[in-house]
């Protein structure tokens, strides 16, 4: 434990977990501003939005990122868009085969969050990820990669996703780049159209952190640009410039799967793109109380469409724009689900519960 704390301080430095508010760039109020037009408010999706089918494959999971082609064989889920997994046996085994674009995350216990003393040593002023506690999630499936621009455009073509949601401008629109700038509602609409859903916070952290309490999805070793796309001493996106004279240093996300797979078989759970999860935000785990404890915690109000006293959802994983501390497996960031009027470059990946 002492060795891990020393490694943490060495990696992040004092005060590294402070979430710095970055000023507007060319009229943008978001912290990841780029050369793009203003963004209007995003409406909630209609419950009658059409849905299409999700992928199914008899091939075993591969360590390579899947094709961005739209998926099309499993029937849509009957669960509501923001539903969380059923509290079935947490240790339900992974199926013999899974869709080629998803991995199976085994259910069971894991340590979520960090203790207050450790958070303070790391310079965390918000203590959003405290305290640490043991929770249980049921076995579930998770997308190998973040949803891509090609995936999103296929959903738009099917009529299930909004064209105006993204991509919003050049250099963020390559087919294999993660879709960026979508709202929480847009992410829910896409996942629903694929017979999936957003992962819960607990599921996301279990996939990223495993059962050994690791600091990053790959382990406790320091972040490097060989492992993740983030802001290092060379700059944002590991020094890769955006194709914009005015915003070259803003950087950009890289194509999904540009870095090696995590132990779970997923790509880019750390860095590249922030990822929406289903839960409403609570300021700390202790403030959330019973809703964030036990088996398959779903967060405040169980993640329901409305939650009195809660106005923000959560993103996880860090991005190309932020330094290594934001990629820690426990790091939580709140934002309004409309992603407007303050706009940020958020993406997502989908999950699916196993059949009971």
CA–CA gap between residue 331 and residue 17 (Å, rounded): 9
**pTM of the complete model:** 0.78
Provide the pLDDT for residue 165.
94
Provide the pLDDT for residue 137.
97
Which residues have a Cβ under 8 Å from the Cβ of 172 and sit 6 or more positions away? Answer: 34, 149, 166, 180, 181, 252, 253, 345
CA–CA gap between residue 281 and residue 301 (Å, rounded): 10
User: Would the CA dihedral through 77, 78, 84, 88 be positive or negative?
Assistant: negative
Angle at 189 between CA 330 and CA 269, to 5 degrees: 25
CA–CA gap between residue 119 and residue 117 (Å, rounded): 5
CA–CA gap between residue 350 and residue 213 (Å, rounded): 23
Provide the pLDDT for residue 39.
33
* Per-residue tens of pLDDT for the chain, all 356 residues: 444 434 443 444 433 333 333 333 233 334 444 333 333 333 344 333 333 333 333 333 344 444 433 333 333 333 334 444 444 446 789 999 999 999 999 999 999 999 999 999 988 888 999 999 999 999 999 999 999 999 999 999 999 999 999 998 889 999 999 999 999 999 999 999 999 999 999 999 999 999 999 999 999 999 999 999 999 999 999 999 998 888 899 999 999 999 999 999 999 999 999 999 999 999 999 999 999 999 999 999 999 999 999 999 999 999 999 999 999 999 999 999 999 999 999 999 999 999 76
Provide the pLDDT for residue 132.
96
User: What are the backbone angles phi and psi of residue 340, rounded to the nearest 5°?
Assistant: -160, 150
Provide the pLDDT for residue 125.
85
Provide the pLDDT for residue 301.
98
CA distances from 346 to 72, 262, 349 (A): 25, 21, 11
Q: Which structural domains are found in the chain, ordered by start?
A: 1-9+90-356 (3.90.1580.10)
DSSP string covering 6-63: HHHHHHH-TTTT--PPPPPSTT--STT--S-------PPPPTT-----B---SSPP-S
Give the SS3 label for residue 92.
Answer: coil
CA–CA gap between residue 343 and residue 33 (Å, rounded): 8
Provide the pLDDT for residue 169.
80
Closest to 148 in 3D by CA, of 278, 254, 266:
254
Provide the pLDDT for residue 122.
86
Q: What is the 3-state secondary structure (H, E, C) of 202-220?
A: HHHHHHHHCCCCCCECCEC
Q: What number of H helices and E strands is found in the chain? A: 6, 9
Q: How many residues does the chain have?
A: 356
Bridge pairing between strands 274-280 and 346-347: parallel
298, 345 in Cβ contact below 8 A? no
Provide the pLDDT for residue 2.
41
């Amino acid at each position: 434990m002492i060795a891990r704390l020393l490694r943490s301080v060495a990696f992040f430095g004092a005060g590294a977990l402070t979430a710095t508010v970055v000023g507007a760039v060319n009229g943008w109020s978001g912290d990841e501003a780029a050369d793009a037009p203003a963004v209007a408010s995003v409406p909630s999706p209609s419950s009658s939005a059409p849905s299409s089918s999700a992928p199914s494959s008899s091939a075993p999971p591969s360590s390579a990122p899947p094709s961005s082609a739209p998926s099309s064989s499993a029937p849509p889920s009957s669960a509501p868009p923001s539903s969380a997994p059923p509290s079935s046996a947490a240790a339900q085994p992974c199926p013999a085969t899974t869709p080629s674009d998803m991995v199976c995350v085994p259910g069971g216990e894991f340590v979520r969050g960090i203790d207050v003393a450790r958070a303070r040593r790391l310079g965390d002023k918000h203590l959003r990820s405290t305290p640490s506690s043991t929770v249980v999630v049921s076995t579930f499936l998770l997308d190998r990669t973040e949803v891509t621009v090609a995936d999103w455009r296929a959903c738009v073509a099917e009529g299930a996703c909004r064209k105006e949601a993204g991509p919003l401008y050049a250099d963020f629109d390559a087919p294999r780049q993660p879709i960026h700038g979508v709202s929480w509602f847009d992410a829910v609409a896409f996942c629903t159209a694929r017979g999936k859903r957003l992962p819960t916070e607990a599921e996301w952290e279990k996939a990223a952190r495993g059962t050994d309490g690791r600091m990053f999805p790959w382990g406790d070793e320091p972040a490097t640009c060989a492992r993740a796309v983030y802001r290092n001493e060379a700059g944002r996106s590991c020094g890769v410039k955006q194709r914009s004279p005015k915003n070259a240093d803003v950087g950009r996300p890289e194509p999904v799967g540009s870095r090696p797979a995590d132990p779970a078989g997923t790509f880019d759970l750390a860095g590249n793109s922030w990822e929406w999860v289903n839960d409403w935000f609570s300021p700390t785990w202790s403030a959330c109380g019973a809703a964030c404890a036990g088996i398959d915690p779903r967060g405040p109000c169980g993640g329901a469409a409305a939650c009195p006293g809660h106005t923000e959802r959560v993103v996880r994983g860090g991005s190309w724009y932020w330094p290594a501390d934001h990629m820690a497996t426990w790091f939580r960031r709140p934002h309004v689900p409309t992603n407007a009027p303050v706009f940020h470059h958020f993406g997502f990946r989908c999950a699916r519960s196993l059949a009971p």
